[in-house]
């Protein structure tokens, strides 16, 4: 099933967030398009977890010192990749 979810032009002051419905079938495939205009160098952009404790089966996209970091975990194995340039 394919569904588009959109949040246009949100702005947060450090404590806000947007919640979307559960990503059904995301364990097989999902696509994400994100455009950012960060005002700070560090912050969580996207996060989704398969379990309430978020210890396994999660996906995150964040800014770490201005670099985009993608992290995901499957069965307690965490993989991480950072861009070599600042956003």
| DSSP for 2-56, written as a single string | -------S----SS--------TTTTT----------SSS-EEEEEEESSTT-SS
Q: What is the pLDDT of residue 27?
A: 66
- 2 — pLDDT class (breaks 50, 70, 90): low
pLDDT at 13: 74
- If you average pLDDT over residues 9-18, what whole number do you get? 73
Please state the domain extents for the chain: 1-9+22-87
pLDDT tens-digit series, residues 26-59: 667 777 788 888 888 898 888 887 777 777 778 8
How far apart CA 10 and CA 70 sit, in angstroms, is 21
CA dihedral 52→14→9→86, nearest 10 degrees, is -90
Q: Is the pLDDT of residue 1 over 70?
A: no
How does the average pLDDT of the chain come out, rounded?
A: 76
């Amino acid at each position: 099933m394919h569904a588009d979810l959109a949040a246009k032009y949100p702005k947060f002051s450090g404590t806000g967030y947007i919640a979307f419905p559960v990503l059904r079938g995301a364990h097989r495939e999902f696509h994400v398009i994100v455009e950012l205009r960060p005002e700070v160098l560090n912050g969580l952009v996207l996060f989704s977890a398969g379990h309430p404790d978020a210890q396994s089966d999660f996906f995150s996209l964040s800014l770490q010192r201005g670099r985009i970091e993608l992290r995901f975990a499957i069965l307690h194995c965490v993989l991480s990749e950072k861009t070599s340039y600042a956003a």
